[in-house]
Amino acid sequence: MYHILCIVGIVRCSDSSRGNWCQQLAAVYFVYAVLLYNNILRTRVVRRDTTKLNQGTLANYQSLSLIKHRSSLIEGTHHHGQRPAINSQTTSSNSHQISCVMMKFALVSLATVASAANAEYFNEVKVMSGHKKRKHVVSPLPHTYLLQEDIPENWNWDNVDGKSYLTKHLNQHIPHYCGSCWAHGAISALADRIKIARQGQGHDINLSIQWVLNCGSETAGSCHGGYHTGVYELIQQYGYIPFDTCQPYLACSAESQEGFCPQIDTQCSKVNTCRTCSGFSDSGGNCVELDYFPNATVAEYGEIEYSFLESWESVAQKIRSEIYARGPVACTINADPLRDYEGGILDDDEASTSTNHIVSIVGFGKDDETGKDYWIIRNSWGEYWGEMGFARVAAGKNMLGMEANVAWATPGTYTVENVPCSEDGTVCGGEAQTHSGKTVRTFVGEEYVDPSVKFLAKKVAETNAKLAARTQS
């Protein structure tokens, strides 16, 4: 039984994609299995009917194999507070000594593994129980209608002919720590796509990440982790996401105990969807919800799909098609090598592909000197980090696990003219002069047109032109 548990542990943790801590744990399992096997060889002379371990020892071995009572084991005691011992009537003294050595070795190793695990970046990738609908796809996907020659070798939405189509940077960790990378990556990619659809015209439309934290605990996530497609499902469920002037980023969710979070209300409510405050409280002012507020919607969303038979370069080409045709995407990534990143193309084949963070990919390219393909990622750690908040990571090889779970979303509609409200938020409506008289102002929105319409129309025109040329010849 014991060696079976050890083998299971080795197999489950030997895969590099499960993280460095798990690989260290696999080593512990392996050495423990060797010691256990050696112990079994030494005790084979004992009669079969007298070699059963007592219940306390069995519980202890199960604890070691399954890592169920780590804290009590590190203290060297069983979870009942009593150190179990080998039954002297059923085993030899040598067996007892070897078992003690095995115990001590395993305890020290477990402490080392626990320390290594704690040193890694907090895992902010978490699929919530309420996230049921992982995709909603209607339009044709870019990789189905774009050829490889249609896609340039270098493309960066932060610099298209000298113009940036990206919305503002944020630092998820201020005013205090919050594991909301999943919301930053998903929302920045969506807002960037709105800016792209508007051809960079007008003021930026920045969407409220704080509203996602307020209302997305069941579907999207919290300061303790979440998932990119959960954000898009949340927006579809509510039918909107407010602009960030409704709910600026506070780095708080309902369960967070960081900074001032315990003292403020971040429950999902009307006032925590869009609010304004009329004045200082000691002068009679108060904060009220707004019934009308600028917002955006999500039309479609999903993840880049692929088969296990596909090469990572094939998957990368699908991702490039999506980015080039429709804009930035969000992806999971291993953040451990990124923490001390100082620039250049990050290319480390020894790095784990087990992911714990989410960023957006805003472009791609090929290095002139090395010929390496790379992604341009936008992080949510502020512009003091990396290359002004960006990083370049090797592409086409699932570096840091970033090509395995890539999400995209297309906007539905977004407000370009608001319903005017008074400064204190108590009166909304307003009137507008039209050719037939005055009418109450309502929202004026723009509707997103999927780029596939343009690309497919271009393909049809090219095909028709070729057919016409053949007919004439």
Instruction: Write out the catalytic residue numbers.
Output: 181, 357, 379
- Give the contacts of 103 (CB within 8 A, at least 6 positions apart): 60, 64
Rg over CA atoms, the chain: 29
The rounded Cα 329 to chain-centroid distance in angstroms is: 11
| Contact status, residue 202 vs residue 416, Cβ threshold 8 Å | yes
| 253 closest CA partner among 288, 287, 215, 289 | 215
Q: And the tokens for 402? A: 């970033």
Let me know the angle formed at the C-alpha of 55 by 49 and 60, rounded to the nearest 5 degrees. 120
* Helix, strand or coil, per DSSP, at residue 132: coil
**Rounded Cα distance, 330 and 154, in Å:** 19
Dihedrals phi, psi of 315, to nearest 5 degrees:
-65, -40
Q: And the tokens for 115? A: 């320390």
**Rounded Cα distance, 146 and 373, in Å:** 19
- In sequence order, which ranges of 239-350 are alpha helices (DSSP H)? 312-326
| 125 closest CA partner among 402, 411, 410 | 402
Helices 181-197 and 228-238 pack at an angle, to 10 degrees, of: 60
| 321 closest CA partner among 332, 306, 307 | 306
Q: And the tokens for 44? A: 């084979």
